[in-house]
Amino acid sequence: MPATIPAHLADSPALPQRRLDQLDAQWRAANYLAAAQIYLQRNPLLREPLRPEDIKPRLLGHWGTVPGLTLVYTHLNRLIQDTGANVLLVVGPGHGAPAILSEMYLDGSMEAHYPQLTRDLAGITRLTREFSWPGGFPSHVGPSTPGTINEGGELGYSLAHAFGAAFDNPDLLVACVVGDGEAETGPLAAAWHSNKFLNPASDGAVLPILHLNGYKLSGPTIYARMSDEELTAFFEGLGYRVGIVAEDDPALAHQAMWRALDWASGEIHALQERARGGEEIVRPAWPMLLLRTPKGWTGPKTLDGKPVENTFHAHQIPIPDPAGNPGHLAALDEWLRSYHPERLFDEAGRPAADVTAIMPSGDSRIGMNPHANGGAELQPLKLPDYTEYAVAVSAPGATDAEATRHLGVYLRDIFTRNGDERNFRLVCPDETTSNRLEAIFEETERPFEWPLVPTDEYLSRNGRVMEILSEHTCEGWLEGYLLTGRHGMFACYEAFVSIVDSMVNQYGKWLKLTHEIPWRKPVASLNYLLTSHAWRQDHNGYSHQGPGFINTIMSKKSSVARIYLPPDTNCLLSVADHCLRSRNYINLILIGKQSQPQWLDMRAAQEHCARGIGVWEWASNDAGAPDVVLAAAGDVPTLEMLAAAWLLRRDIPSLRVRVVNVVDLLTLESHRDHPHGLDEQAFNAIFTEDAPVVFAFHGYARAIHELIYHRPNPQRFHVRGYNEEGTTTTPFDMVVANQMSRYHLAMLALHHASRMRSQVGALIDAYQERLAAHRVYIREHDADLPEVRSWRWSQSPDATDAPASATTPVDASEAAQPRERHNRHDRHVRDDPADAQRPPRPRKQR
Ligand SMILES: Cc1ncc(C[n+]2csc(CCOP(=O)(O)OP(=O)(O)O)c2C)c(N)n1
Ligand SMILES: [Mg+2]
């Protein structure tokens, strides 16, 4: 089998001229309509002479990529018509929306979704006018474009989306146009390796088409300047079989493209037949196409004496000023009429028979492919009863457990229950075992289609846990999987999920827009499970500490964003069940994988999670009127806050302390801004209107200030969170370094609880002394103080519990030195400049 299409072409029989002419008619009609969308606000078929007033006031759109995209689309239509292929098209250069809209207009897919876009003069007038027009169609392919799952604005994600769509869709052929500029991006570069994960027996096929039109926005592309030999070697090295279509004569290009698609389709079927017949195929060599056509092909060759076609000048608006420059108007007129619109549309403005002759019908049309509107296809997951996975908690803090290990068992059973449907996948950058989810591997494994060796673990040809050390690819796969109507979860180290910040920005926009498009049905939510989080990077240290993804998700539309910080295992199970049932959200779940005390039995966890926030009465002694509220969001903050409450109850029992726990972070926001936000009454019932609040937070403190800024007396919230202090150190030293330790929190509470101020000096000194002892101890023992390690919640700490200053004897002279050295971390709370600016406010009379 020759590697390239030109060699393969030589001995092919001639193609039928009539159908080639029809393909060309469709292609020219689509190109014409695309140019008309960019330029014309009236007179769309040039039935009158072109005048300046026909030109849109603002010329917004991308011409350069269009003719290549229409060539691909036209020929996929031919393939569908001839073979019945079930084709989903993913368009990387989505800025070429006019190409896609034109084709979908011509085959009636647009009219099926937007009834005003009739296939006649009125419809054409609307289509051309509404493109890049306020309230009309955006200039990029996106949620409002039928048949698409890829927002083409931010380049780089097409190929990962395409593979995500193909997983577990054995009958689907996903054709994916990759821009040669787009191919330079990191995410796209990693996604070529998706072929190592696509099983020819149980998955669909992806046909990548690298569109080498030579240029990006203002410069040449790397790939286009590589020779055919270099590109062939490169992609064969990646495991593909390479077909090349390289023509700038349209007649020859049609023949080459026709043959290229027949070749690729034949290769795909041959692979699938072998695999589906039971053969184990190692290194399945899927076909891909290199398509070399000029940028801005069939557009103006020159303008004002300078070349346009086949240069980057063709990228957007090849003729910039037809309304103001008569020479430009004439050039546009000549260009548009070169397609002969009078032959492509009849008197009534309907596409001519030849234009639509090679177009599929019904759901076979690319614009009508049901997989592109995945919500309409979505089957709910069969979820086990999560309460059966509960950790028994006889009393708060009595049991320790590793939350994700328990979740792993629950997820394993989700894989089992949905084994026939094959509609659930976990994506993860090489961390499933590290994240302690390995119970999943009792049911399924990690797929890999390249050679396996006997020492591999949990690797098979057909697993459902998608591991590649590319967060971009994980995210792209999952997005493609979800948007085609399936379910999944992305388990990731907290610090490194920020690699996909930009992708989740785009996904959030996609979801926000789909809420506004009636025909887009809700898809399963995008669920992140972030474990291995900032506070417990005991051996990885500072580089692995970064809780900023919370801020990323917080910035998303309230119709989309949900953030959960379950404090223990039973809460995690409840939250996970909720998220897997939900639709159209981005759910962020944050919890550590380490063994930690468990606070709530399942019934209490269910109630707590249903409310999202609550007073933990069992830890409070406020008698309805707290001197101070101690709030926490996150597992480590919850532990420290409970220990702080315990210290205060032990050491100053007359201080009235209320303990609040937040699972659903966005309950803190106003109900006016977020549907989960508490109303004033509910918020004040928890936090009061005026009591000082000490808040321990998993992430950056400012996130809490942002959420509560409009609540009564927001300056009474004293938040401690991750403050970019850390290293490879003990767990307790992390909270000390960031001033979120139990001692820091207790001192903050003492400082702000004005009723007790005269009595707290000695206690603050005692807590400072424990911090000094901590510093000495960890440097000597490489472990936390015994009093910290062995601390457990007890309902009534009393005098039998050793006083804070005496739990571990430390030589006072030893303690003094490090205190000097490390006071950067452990400044007395009263030295904190932020708090110095906020004197405690006088309490209101009740
Ligand atoms: C990640 C990203 N970076 C930059 C841009 C700005 N941009 C829009 S189009 C474009 C050039 C794209 O070139 P290519 O992929 O070759 O597409 P085509 O030539 O088909 O237009 C650039 C850089 C973008 N949309 N996305
Ligand atoms: Mg290009």
SS3 234: helix
Which of 95-104, 336-345, 434-443 comes out lowest in average pLDDT? 434-443
pLDDT score recorded for residue 845: 30
Task: Give me the pLDDT at residue 511, please.
Answer: 97
5 pLDDT band, cuts 50/70/90, is low
Q: Closest Cα to residue 637, out of 766, 726, 744, 776? A: 744
* pLDDT at residue 11 in the model: 56
Residue 758: per-residue pLDDT: 83
**CA-based nearest residue to 68, from 105, 110, 107, 98:** 98
Structure tokens at 430: 């090489």
Which of the residue ranges 219-233, 406-420, 738-752, 820-834 would you say has the lowest mean pLDDT?
Answer: 820-834
Residue from 290, 351, 359 nearest 79 by CA: 359
Neighbours of ion ligand 2 (CB under 5 A): 179-181, 213
- Nearest alpha carbon, ligand 1 atom 17: 179
Helix (H, G, I), strand (E, B) or coil at 693: strand
The residue to mutate among 177, 216, 509, having the most atoms of ligand 1 within 8 angstroms of its beta carbon, is 216
Query: Both tokens of residue 786?
Result: 């015994």
The pLDDT confidence band at residue 24, using thresholds 50, 70 and 90, is very high
Question: What is the structure's pLDDT at 499?
Answer: 97
Best substitution site from 70, 100, 155 to test ligand 1's pocket, by max atoms within 8 Å of Cβ?
Answer: 155
Amino acid at 587: N
Ligand 1 near 164 CB (within 6 A) = no
With a 6 Å cutoff on the Cβ, whether 140 touches ligand 1 is no
Strand partners, 563: 588
DSSP letter at 239?
A: T
| Closest to 91 measured CA to CA, from 103, 106, 105 | 103
pTM given for the model? 0.93
Q: What is the pLDDT of residue 838?
A: 32
pLDDT at 7: 57
Token readout for 446 is 């990690």
Q: Is the pLDDT of residue 803 over 80?
A: no
From CA 255, how far away is CA 243, in angstroms rounded?
14
Q: Which residues fall within 8 angstroms of residue 644, CB to CB, at 6 or more apart?
A: 630, 694, 696, 742, 743, 745, 746, 749
Q: Residue 98 C-alpha to ligand 2 middle, in angstroms? A: 16
Distance CA 718, CA 704 (A): 10
Q: Can you read off the two tokens belonging to residue 590?
A: 């944050």
If you average pLDDT over residues 307-317, what whole number do you get?
A: 96
Contact 527, 589 (CB under 8 A): yes
Nearest alpha-carbon partner for 31 in 95, 89, 93, 102: 102
> Hey, what are 834's tokens?
């932020």
Q: How confident is the model at residue 798 (pLDDT cuts 50, 70, 90)?
A: low
Query: What pLDDT score does 304 carry?
Result: 97
Q: Of ligand 1's atoms, which has the minimum distance to the CA of residue 68?
A: 20
Establish whether residue 181 lines the binding site of ligand 1, counting it when its CB lies within 6 angstroms of any ligand atom.
yes
Is residue 152 very low, low, confident or very high in pLDDT (cuts 50, 70, 90)?
Answer: confident
Per-residue pLDDT, 818: 31
CA distances from 65 to 71, 211, 294 (A): 10, 9, 9
Ligand 1 within 6 A of CB of 213: yes
Asked if residue 843 has pLDDT above 70, the reply is: no
More confident residue, 495 or 836: 495
Q: Minimal CA–CA distance to 419: which of 462, 370, 475?
A: 462
pLDDT of residue 846: 26
- Evaluate if residue 604 carries a pLDDT over 80: yes
Spacing, Cα 216 to ligand 1 middle (Å): 6
Residue matched to tokens 């926001």: 669
Q: What number is the average pLDDT over the span 588-600?
A: 96
Percent residues over pLDDT 70 in the chain: 93
Q: CB–CB of 677/669 below 8 Å?
A: yes
DSSP-assigned states of every residue in 637-692: HHHHHHHHHHHHHHH-TTS-EEEEEESBGGGSSBTTT-TTPBPHHHHHHHH-SSS-
The finding on whether 699 has its CB within 6 A of some atom of ligand 1 is: no
Q: For atom 16 of ligand 1, which residue has the closest CA?
A: 181
Q: What is the pLDDT of residues 657-710, one digit of tens each?
A: 999 999 999 999 999 999 999 999 999 999 999 999 999 999 999 999 999 999
Instruction: Let me know: does 271 contact 283? Beta carbons within 8 Å.
Output: no
**What integer best gives the mean pLDDT of the chain?**
92
831 has a pLDDT exceeding 50: no
Task: Convert the pLDDT of each residue in 618-642 to its tens digit.
Answer: 999 999 999 999 999 999 999 999 9
CA distance 449 to 462: 8
Q: Decide the pairing of beta strands 241-246 and 205-212.
A: unpaired
DSSP 802: P
Q: Is 182 in the pocket of ligand 1 (CB under 6 A)?
A: yes
Report the pLDDT value the prediction gives residue 337, as an integer from 0 to 100: 98
pLDDT tens for each residue of 171-216: 999 999 999 999 999 999 999 999 999 999 999 999 999 999 999 9
Averaged pLDDT for residues 442-468: 96
Tell me what percent of the residues of the chain surpass a pLDDT of 90.
Answer: 88
Q: Partners of 697 in the beta sheet?
A: 633
